[in-house]
Structure 1
Amino acid sequence: MTQPDFSLSPVRAIVTGHSRGLGAALAELLLERQIAVLGVGRSLHPSLGQSERAASAPQFVEASLDLADPAAVEQWLASGTLQRFAQGAQCVLLFNNAGTVDPIAPPGAQDAGAIARAVTLNVAAPLMLANALTSVQAHERRIIHISSGAARNAYAGWSVYCATKAALDHHARAVALDAPAGLRISSIAPGVVDTGMQATIRATNVDHFPTRGRFEELKQTGKLATPEDAARQLIDYALSDGFGALPTTDVRELAQS
């Protein structure tokens, strides 16, 4: 299969968890803006990579990779795929979107393997990708961590999720202090988005997640943002002159500014 020629794409984007939800919306909207996309995730996009869609997404390529497996991520980075995709671009965006809300449970009821998987997927993989992108020879690199309100507000039952998202926020703060030439970073809470993660939350035993009712109410009253709306706000900010002015922010704060 002939690989796309990305040399004509001055702006390129890497999107993790691109096969569904917010990640799929990011990939699709970026392509609509003529931005080349490298999708990275355990699953392939259900349509963008198919032959019948290839003509409508000529600047799309994807890699099947379990981001919760640190050895696999290390091996993939060593292959040079990310570097070849980004090399020579005017601007490269990295959307660290892939993540998991599991395990949802109080301490003592959390599966040890699920904790390890969450920390790797939510923290280690984004930091490994960010480190790799920083060394790429591109005029400008912009790292977008997809954070959460849970990074800044504690929730019973979400100790692992809260901790991992807070880690992304603090990583962005520290990287901003390092300030490598041509690098900007921001950890952004996208609001409460109507994705599969929300369905998982609503299906959780209330004994493990006491505030489940709040998320059920958001769904019932139509207050969840669509993946497309959230993706559009994230992309607009990522491409803006003001991106990275604050190492942590929230799309709802951006809408008010």
Structure 2
Amino acid sequence: MSATRAIVTGHTRGLGDALAAELLSRGIDVLGVSRSLNPSLAQRFPEALTQVELDLADTARVGAWIAGDGLRSFVAGADRVVLVNNAGMVQPIGPLEGQDAAAIASAVSLNVATPLMMASAVAAAATDATDRRIVHVSSGAARNAYAGWSIYCATKAALDHHARAVALDENRALRICSLAPGVVDTGMQAEIRDVDTEKFPLRGKFEDLKRNGQLASPEASAAKLVDYILSEAFGQEPTADIRAL
């Protein structure tokens, strides 16, 4: 196994798939954690990819998995351990009175509780590593409020503030950054463009981005993100936007 090992949540599609592929292509062993497996990555990187099927919105199951040996075994002996909290959901979209309680709970669990649980678990498990790096995949929605996105904005802002607070611990062996990747052409973007404008008034803006070719590809975004994540500059600021680096 390589001296650097990475854990990527939501590694089966979109940006998560691209991030896992980019890390693997650089000779870094990856533990992918998602609701399903990624057969394409498994075929391309049969020795370097380990996969766990886990519903990351189910915090009880996440807690049970963390309490097991899988995570500790994967990071044991690594000099550098990277956690990329990528998994997330944009639903529920719409005004406050129309949001389903169960959907809110799922979003908060997936977007906030699980990333924070994973961050703590990796920090505790990677006792051999002199370099631990935690990445929350953030969003412009963490830093700007959008009508219809109250849950998504709030959950992404929570990750930003978590990173700011953890950075105050001043643990030299631990770096953290809540990192916005820009607007990436993923399934989430397609989902946004399908939402009724009454629920999301800014839908037209995202349609224009797609129409005008202004969405970055997952592969190009992943390459930039991994370059920064592995750089000496990573963690100097607890929140960042890849487009400004």
TM-score (normalised: structure 2)? 0.97
CA RMSD, Structure 1 to Structure 2 (Å): 0.9
AA at the equivalent of 1:132: A
Equivalent-residue separation in structure 1 for 2:225 and 2:213 (angstroms): 21
Shift of 1:180: 2.6
Alignment of 1:75-90 (within 5 A): 75-90=64-79
Residue identity matched to 1:140: D
Q: What are the residue-to-residue correspondences of 1:164-179 with 2, within 5 Å?
A: 164-179=155-170
TM-score by length of 1: 0.93
Q: What is residue 119 of structure 2 aligned with on the other side?
A: 130
Q: CA deviation at 1:46?
A: 3.2
Report whether the alignment pairs 1:17 with 2:6: no
Q: Which residue of 170, 181, 185 maps to 1:194?
A: 185
**Amino acid in the other structure paired with 2:3:** P
Code of the aligned partner of 2:233: G
Code of the residue aligned with 1:222 in structure 2: it is G
Q: Write the mapping of 1:215-234 to structure 2, written as runs, cut at 5 A.
A: 215-234=206-225
Deviation at 1:57, TM superposition (A): 3.6
Q: 2 CA distance for matches of 1:218 and 1:84?
A: 43
Q: Distance in 1 between matches of 2:169 and 2:148?
A: 34
Match of 2:95 in 1: 106
User: What SS does the aligned partner of 1:48 have?
Assistant: helix
CA contact (8 A) 1:156 1:210 kept: yes
Matched, 1:140 2:128: no
List gaps (5 residues or longer) in structure 1: 1-5
Displacement, 1:48?
2.0
Distance (Å, rounded) in 2 between the aligned partners of 1:58 and 1:48: 11
Contact 1:15 1:40 in 2 (8 A): yes
Corresponding residue pairs, total: 243
Q: Please say if 1:117 is aligned against 2:106.
A: yes
Equivalent residues of 1:144, 1:186 under 8 A apart = yes
Consecutive unaligned residues in structure 2, runs of 5 or more: none
Q: Displaced runs of 4+ in structure 1, greater than 3 A?
A: none
